[in-house]
Homo-oligomer: A and B are copies of this chain.
Amino acid sequence: MSYGLIGKLTAVPGERETLLAILLEAATAMEREPTCETYRVNVSLDDESIVVYEVWASMEAHQQSLSLETTKTLIGKARPILANIERLAVFEPRNGH
Contacts and interface: CB of A to CB of B under 8 A. Distances in A.
**Number of chain copies forming the complex:** 2
Contact of A27 (B41, B92, B96): B96
Contacts of A43: 91-92, 94
Contacts of A20: 94
A89 B42 contact: yes
A51 to B, nearest CB: 5
A33 to B, nearest CB: 10
A40 B95 CA distance: 6
Given A20-B94, A24-B94, A27-B96, A8 B89 contact: yes
Interface of A: 3-4, 6, 8, 20, 24, 27-28, 30-31, 38-46, 49, 51, 53, 88-97
